[in-house]
Chains A and B, each alone.
Chain A
Amino acid sequence: SQQGEEDPQALSIQEGENATMNCSYKTSINNLQWYRQNSGRGLVHLILIRSNEREKHSGRLRVTLDTSKKSSSLLITASRAADTASYFCATMKETSGSRLTFGEGTQLTVNP
């Protein structure tokens, strides 16, 4: 079973709006990462947040991590049509070495 569960499964918004995706996980982690996948293509790393961090920013991306609730959120501000993609959270567990376990993803559609 997947380590992460993402919510919502699908999200449709208008250009310029903000998009928020959530991820929950089950076990202790070293870090949590977010990846983006354009239709049927390879995954691209977006941002990494370590277990001792609470918030991180990268351009229009903001990630939060709450280890007490075992959850994370990804906020994309001022969305663009080019942000349309699937977004996955992935966790690197303390006991799994460096392997990543992926959630099921959120399909984001940004309408022009």
Chain B
Amino acid sequence: DSGVTQTPKHLITATGQRVTLRCSPRSGDLSVYWYQQSLDQGLQFLIQYYNGEERAKGNILERFSAQQFPDLHSELNLSSLELGDSALYFCASGQGDEKLFFGSGTQLSVL
């Protein structure tokens, strides 16, 4: 158990809809990272938050947004969903220049 909790584990929705993925980081970790894993794109970094503030941005679409709350949990919002957004979304947490601890992921299926 990595200590990182992601909910829900599975999400099935339709094109055009909006979903929210939730992540609770490991106790004491101030950084939260979101990654998208798909067969054709591999593991893509989306965004990083540190203690409530956006720290780095990767290949995150404008339809996607995220935030980190005062209790350090984070949410990734995906809107106007397309078939191509179907993927495994991972949250990870860490303490800076060290290893990351990954959650078990949310499998998103857009039908």
- Main secondary structure, interface of B, reads strand
B94 touches A33 (CB 8 A): no
B24 contacts which chain A residues (CB < 8 A)? Answer: none
Q: A45 an interface residue at 8 Å Cβ cutoff? A: yes
Q: For residue A33, which residues in chain B have a CB less than 8 angstroms away from its CB? A: 99-100
Does B96 touch A at the CB level, under 8 Å?
yes
- Bound CA–CA A88/B92 (angstroms): 15
Q: Is the CB of B45 within 8 A of A100?
A: yes
Report if A43 contacts B (CB, 8 A): yes
Q: B59 → chain A, closest Cβ, in Å?
A: 10
Instruction: Report how far A103 CA is from B33 CA in the complex, Å.
Output: 17
Number of A interface residues in the complex (CB < 8 A): 24
Given contact pairs A97-B55, A98-B31, A98-B96, A42 touches B102 in the complex (Cβ within 8 A): yes
Q: How far is the CB of B103 from chain A (nearest CB, A)?
A: 6
Query: For the complex, what is the distance from the CA of A2 to the CA of B37, rounded to whole Å?
Result: 12
Chain A 11-42 interface 0/1 with B at a Cβ cutoff of 8 Å (1 = within): 00000000000000000001101010000111
Tell yes or no: B2 within 8 A of A by CB: yes
Q: Are B97 and A98 in contact (CB under 8 A)?
A: yes
Tell me, in angstroms, the Cα distance from A17 to B57 when the chains sit together: 41
Neighbouring B residues of A48 by C-beta, 8 Å: 98-99
Residues of A within 8 A of B31 (CB): 98
CB of A45 within 8 A of CB of B100, answer yes
User: For A41, what are the chain B residues with a Cβ–Cβ distance below 8 Å?
Assistant: 104-105
Q: Is the CB of A97 within 8 A of B42?
A: no
- Is there contact, CB below 8 Å, between B43 and A99? no
A92 part of interface (Cβ distance < 8 Å):
yes
Residue numbers of B with Cβ under 8 A of A are: 2, 4, 31, 33, 35, 42-43, 45, 48, 55-56, 58, 88, 90, 92, 94, 96-105, 107
